[in-house]
Amino acid sequence: MKISVIIPALNEAEQLADTIQICRQNDLVDAVFEIIVCDGGSLDGTQDIAVSRGAACIGSPRSGRAVQMNLGATVATGDILMFVHADTRLPSGWTSHISEAIAEGYDAGCFRLSFGHPSPWLRFYGWVTRFDMDFMRFGDQGLFITKKSFEDLGGYREDHRVLEDNELTCRIRAKGLQFKVMAASAVTSPRRYLEQGVVRLQFIFAAIYLKWRMGVSQDDLIAYYRQKVRNRVPE
């Protein structure tokens, strides 16, 4: 089993070095075949950090996680694709978890989520990600999928600037592919929650999800996000 790790990045110089290092720390020898950083036009030295840490770095003609992750997938040569956000820390033994899931017949899956912060609300938000429900699937949990399944599905929808991971998960299930939520937890940065208010930001995310399920356009979802989340734009 060869895993290609794909990391979309945009001005993630502060986070990227640790993310790459943790991706390399696995318990299956040679399981991580390659680490590909897909850069969306960073101006903070993200590309240099990627290369200095031994990752391949490719520039995307457009920013946006869906676009960048699809680009990474086109050049990936591993049997399994592992999509990881630049501020996500995979759990210890993550390659073994994926290997076991593949051996059990799963085509795709993710980890549970932890924010690594003592806030009771953040701990609760992390706890509920153990349940196998589509609206609990976030890109911060990481997503693994066989390359064949990813290609058969057509990859991420590039017209999605938000909720691209939820949309892909829905198609994974609609296709009849087996999806596993693994017992270990990936750790993501709580920075947006702490900036905006933990409960307030979760309500905003819930509203965006509900609007999306009701068919609201991506442009309107982004406009709503920008209106509610001050001084931030979708990543």
Extents of the domains making up the chain: 3-189
Quote the strand ranges of the chain, DSSP E: 3-9, 32-39, 56-59, 80-83, 88-89, 108-114, 143-146, 179-188
Give, rounded to a whole angstrom, the gap between the first and last alpha carbons of the chain.
Answer: 31
Residue 29: pLDDT band by 50, 70, 90 thresholds?
low
Residues of the chain with pLDDT > 70: what percent? 96
pLDDT at 67 over 90: yes
Lowest mean pLDDT among 103-117, 125-139, 140-154: 125-139
CA distance 24 to 32: 7
* Homologous superfamily of domain range 3-189: Spore Coat Polysaccharide Biosynthesis Protein SpsA; Chain A (3.90.550.10)
Q: Which of 130, 107, 106, 210 is nearest to 166 (CA)?
A: 210
Average pLDDT over residues 74-82: 96
Can you give the pTM of this predicted structure? 0.93
Chain mean pLDDT for the chain: 92
Confidence category of residue 233, pLDDT binned at 50, 70, 90? very low
